[in-house]
Amino acid sequence: MMAGPTHHALARPAFDEAPKILIVVAPYYKDIADGLVAGAMAEVEAVGGSYEVVEMPGALELPSAIGIAARMGEYDGFVALGCVIRGETTHYDTVCNDSSRGLMLLGLQGICIGNGILTVENYEQAAARADPEGQNKGGGAAAAALHLVALSRKLGRKDKGLGFTADRLGEC
C-alpha cells in the first residue's frame, strides 16, 4: 500500500539582522484570523524577527494596505491573513481572485509577501487550516515571507520602492 502525499517544508532562513514584518489581517471570521495571526507571530519570533499587526475590513483591502505600507513603512516583508468562505453568490470568486491577484502583483514588484488568505468551502476547513497546532497556514504564510526576505537580502537588493526613483530616471 502506498503512503499518502507528503509535504516538505524548507528549513527556516537565518538572518544576520532581524527582519521586521507587517502582518495584515482581515478578521471577518475573528477566531479563524486569531489562529492565523498566532501562527504567523510564532514563525516570525522563531527567526528572531519583530512584527506589527494591523487589521483591515476584508480580504480585498489587504493588497492595498500592503502596498501603502511597502511605500511608506519600514518593513522587510508582509504577511496577508484572512479567510473567505464560499457563500451563495459569485462574490466568493471575486474576493478570492482579486485579493490573490493584488498580492501577486505586489510580489512581482519585489515586495516580500506571504499569502495566508484561506479560500475554503466551509468553516470546518478554515478552522483546520488556521489552527497553529494543525495545518498552521498563518505560520506557512509567514515562512514564505521570511524566505522571500532572505532571498532579497542574499541578492543584495537595497531599495524597496515601487516604480521610478529620481536617480534612475536617466537610465530609460
CA 101/CA 122 separation, integer angstroms: 22
pLDDT score recorded for residue 156: 84
* Active-site choice (7, 8, 91, 147): 91
CA 1/CA 41 separation, integer angstroms: 39
pLDDT score recorded for residue 94: 95
CA 106 to mean position of chain CA atoms: 11
Binding residues: 28, 59-61, 83-85, 88-89, 115, 129
pLDDT score recorded for residue 168: 46
Binding residues for (2S)-2-hydroxy-3-oxobutyl phosphate: 88-89, 129
Answer yes or no: are the C-beta atoms of 65 and 54 closer than 8 Å: yes
pLDDT score recorded for residue 53: 98
- With 0.95 as the threshold, say if the pTM is over it: no
| 91 in active site | yes
Task: Return averaged pLDDT per consecutive 10 residues of the chain, 172 residues in all.
Answer: 77 96 98 98 98 98 98 97 95 95 97 98 98 97 98 77 50 49
Classified by CATH at the fold level, domain 20-156 comes out as Rossmann fold (3.40.50)
Binding residues for 5-amino-6-(D-ribitylamino)uracil: 28, 59-61, 83-85, 115
